[in-house]
Structure 1
């Protein structure tokens, strides 16, 4: 219970990026400069899952070929977040992926998981 209370204290306001999201935005910007990404937006779309239940991915990304992707950046997963991304991936015809930072001791970079 104490862990949940501490976690709630650290939550950021809607529209504010945490450190991992800021680092991933820099990666998306590099990919944009390289021509792989045409556009991206932090919390740019909101998907309806059911009445009064929504999912907002951290980033919506348009690749250079026009394909849309939703990128969820996580430091760690909680069960409800994993359930939501699985549900939304089944409902909407775009690619949903989870991004996790790899520890520097493991080479750094990003781990990507498709849904």
Structure 2
């Protein structure tokens, strides 16, 4: 079976958390079904992410991009007390390892005492 764009979109649409992929110029290039449902008209494909983010968010995103350019991968962003979700900044790299964009990943914490612990660390140390 060939993995087509349609199959990849179906996989991303099956994911229960929102995925909004943004390029290096902070233009939204892709949203999965969950993101479209959650954000509605506030976030639009081919529009700047900063149409719905404030100046403080812009500074944080620029800092995450610098860290990604220096080799960091997924980075803990914050624990959102309103939604109970932890949020991660995830750089997306091309085949030459250059950061071409990013998305923010949301999930419920595995450990309420330490929401910054990445999933792979949780699974390595779970009881």
Q: Please report the TM-score for the alignment, with normalisation by the length of structure 1.
A: 0.28
**Bigger relative contact order, structure 1 or 2, given CA contacts below 8 A and separation 6+?**
2
The structure carrying a bigger strand percent of its residues is: 1
